[in-house]
Structure 1
Amino acid sequence: MKEKIDDLITQGQKFTFENNSYRSQYGVYSKPSDEFLAWIATVEDFIIQNFGENSSVFRLYKKFDDRFISGYEKDDFERHHTKLIAALKACHNATPIKTVKPLTQADLLNVIFDRFHSVVIQLRKRYNSKPTLDVQDEYDVQDLLHCLLKLHFADIRKEEWTPSYAGGSSRMDFLLKDEQLVIEVKMTRKGLADKELGKQLIEDKAKYKAHPDCKRLVCFTYDPEGRITNPKGIQNDLNQEDEDFIVEIIIKPEN
């Protein structure tokens, strides 16, 4: 930020009364160039975004009379121009506001997957033992995940057909078309642990890579009973990050 402040100061010091004035029959008066006006707007945006409108530097910035930008004599122009430079210099000692970066697509999905098991447990705790969704199989996982995805994604396509692979085609669980992302859902059970899961995931990688709308494949495996003995091994073997195709294996909860 120091470099940005110094750069704005350097830019501002180039604007003088002489290169932002005009001569009339009554004398010489300020007439700001488009570049000078753009610099003033940039300074205001910079201070608001980084320090806020309630900050001391913004109050210092607002002390200059914006009427000075046109029709002032040299002394008044330079006095107000100096106030602008002073406000920028004060930024060096001011405390920036904390900016919150918007969550990325990956961030949103990670929150959903990380908290999925907690949501499952919470759903079982309904008032007066009212009926609820109890996640017992892969279809239940799909239904609950579909609800959670709707919080953050608008275009969710369920059970789209995949291109033909090994003599047949199949339905994908979720396609987020705008994000070019496919989510494949699995739930461990008797007979679906490390070896069989790894085999299915290898097949998923191959068939989804051929889909024109799939640039990223996320394989979410819900493992509430801890049947997967080596989740890190599966992830290390099957995670992939190529220029045109990304594969991420997610196994939750982490036991």
Structure 2
Amino acid sequence: MSNVRIPAAVCSAVTEILEGSHDTLNALFETAGAPGEPPELAHHSKWKTWMQRAGNDPKVDSLQFLGCLIEEFMDLPPVDSSDGTDLFGVKTTSPLEAYNKQRDRLNQVLEEHGFRYYRGGRVLLDGSPEPIPQSVPVNTNDEGSIPSNIEDLLRIIVRGLPRAMQPLTHRRKDAQPLAFTSEYDIQDLLHALMRPWISDIRPEEFTPSYAGCNTRMDFLLPAHNLVIETKRVRSKSHANKVGDELIIDIEHYRRHSACDHLWCVVYDPELYISNPQGLIRDLEGQRTTPDGMVQVKVFVFGASA
């Protein structure tokens, strides 16, 4: 049980985002596991006092309690249908903008006091292992699966990239469709899909020099000693060079002290690679030399989901 004291500043910040009647918030606190009867105090003081009481009660899992209180606010932003102006055309603060400011402030207060919020009502102390998501987007091959470790999670995200692209390339009427025409496009989508689950993602970190030059990693996940490298096949001639490019990348990455695992994600929308399974077999596995060792995984996928 996480018997962690909830600082007064955190209690105040949470109180600022609570909305509803006394009966509504009484039910929320009781469902979250608040101990005892509701304090007989004014609205603002009541919730702050009750939170502090819960944080000091050894029978209460204070981190779970805190997560339950803020889960709906953190995970459910308002629907913003305004155009940012009032009836007279004067620019106003939209509900979504106001929400984002409140959410950023709460996140800042939590982090200043050694806490970190994760989707699904999970609050952990800084330095604790990241929780495995309770549910994540899956493709048809992973339907119903629940990841048990970071590799399972990343495998679902990577294999689901074509499905994630589909609603962005076929958008609603008058909405600008997105075209995944460069490696940067693939990197941005992958980055966006990872961010809710992985707190420390470092894009474009340099690798140690190999053959007189160095290169930038696409993504380094230092907590997991894992690097992700993306490629987009541009033409038939480029398809013939992708394997050689990845071999050079592997030589760079195995020299990096924070890279034990390398995932190579190759997007081939026109199916220019004639033998993707051969490419995977040639590159996957443990690559060891006196300079270092790295475990390589390769994914090759086209445009269809």
Q: TM above 0.5, one fold?
A: yes
User: Residues of 1 paired with 2:147 and 2:189: CA distance?
Assistant: 25
Q: Which residue of 1 aligns with 2:298?
A: 249
- 2:160 partner SS: helix
1:102 and 1:223 map into 2 onto residues whose CA distance is 26
Whether contact under 8 Å (2:253, 2:294) holds in the other structure is no
Which of 189, 200, 205 is 2:245 aligned to? 200
Q: Number of residues paired by the alignment?
A: 155
SS at match of 1:245: strand
Task: Say yes or no: does 1:218 pair with 2:267.
Answer: no
SS in 2 for 1:204: helix
Q: How much has 1:131 moved relative to structure 2? A: 1.9
Q: Which of these residues, 128, 137, 149, is aligned with residue 104 of structure 1?
A: 149
Q: Which residue of 1 aligns with 2:172?
A: 127
Q: Which runs of 4+ in 1 moved over 3 A?
A: none
Query: What are structure 1's unaligned runs of at least 5 residues?
Result: 1-99
Match of residue 163 from structure 2:
118
Say if 1:114 and 1:253, in contact at 8 Å, map to a contact too.
no
8 Å contact from structure 1 (residues 113, 252) kept in 2: no
CA distance in 2, matches of 1:130, 1:101: 33
Please, which of 267, 273, 277 is the counterpart of residue 228 of structure 1?
273
**Counterparts of 2:184 and 2:166, CA distance in 1:** 17
Give the Å deviation of 1:168: 1.2
SS in 2 for 1:129: coil
Once the two structures are TM-superposed, the CA of residue 235 in structure 1 deviates from its matched residue by 0.7
8 Å Cα contact 2:201/2:222 also seen in 1: yes
How far apart are the structure 2 equivalents of 1:130 and 1:220? 28
Tell me which residue corresponds to 1:165: 210
Output the CA distance in 2 between the equivalents of 1:241 and 1:124: 36
| Contact 1:182/1:217, CA 8 A, preserved across alignment | yes
Instruction: Give TM-score scaled by structure 2 length.
Output: 0.48
- State how far apart, in whole Å, the 2-side matches of 1:186 and 1:202 are: 13
**TM-score normalized with structure 1 length:** 0.57
Give the aligned residue type for 2:238.
L
In the alignment, the residues of structure 2 paired with residue 134 and residue 197 of structure 1 have an alpha-carbon distance, to the nearest angstrom, of: 21
Structure showing greater Rg: 1
Partner of residue 5, structure 1: none
Aligned residues with identical type, % of pairs: 39
Between the aligned partners of 2:287 and 2:250, the Cα distance in structure 1 is: 12
Query: Over the residues paired in the alignment, what is the CA RMSD in angstroms?
Result: 2.0
**Contact 1:222/1:251 (8 A) holds in 2:** yes
Q: State the shift of 1:136 in Å.
A: 1.2
Q: Is the 8 A contact 1:174 1:184 kept in 2?
A: yes
Q: In structure 2, what is the Cα distance between the partners aligned to 1:113 and 1:120?
A: 11
Instruction: Write the distance in 2 (CA, Å) between the matches of 1:129 and 1:111.
Output: 31
Instruction: Write the distance in 2 (CA, Å) between the matches of 1:108 and 1:115.
Output: 11
Query: In the TM superposition, what are the counterparts of 1:1-255 in structure 2 within 5 Å?
Result: 102-190=147-235, 191-193=237-239, 195-241=240-286, 244-253=293-302
Q: Are 2:266 and 2:301, in contact at CA under 8 Å, matched by a contact in 1?
A: yes
The answer to whether the 8 A contact 2:162-2:303 is kept is no
Q: Secondary structure at the match of 2:243?
A: helix
Deviation at 1:102, TM superposition (A): 4.7
Matched residue, 2:86 = none
SS of residue in 1 equivalent to 2:242: helix
Q: Tell me the distance in 2 between the aligned counterparts of 1:168 and 1:201.
A: 15
Q: Secondary structure at the match of 1:206?
A: helix
| Residues 223 and 251, structure 1, Cα contact 8 Å, conserved in 2 | yes
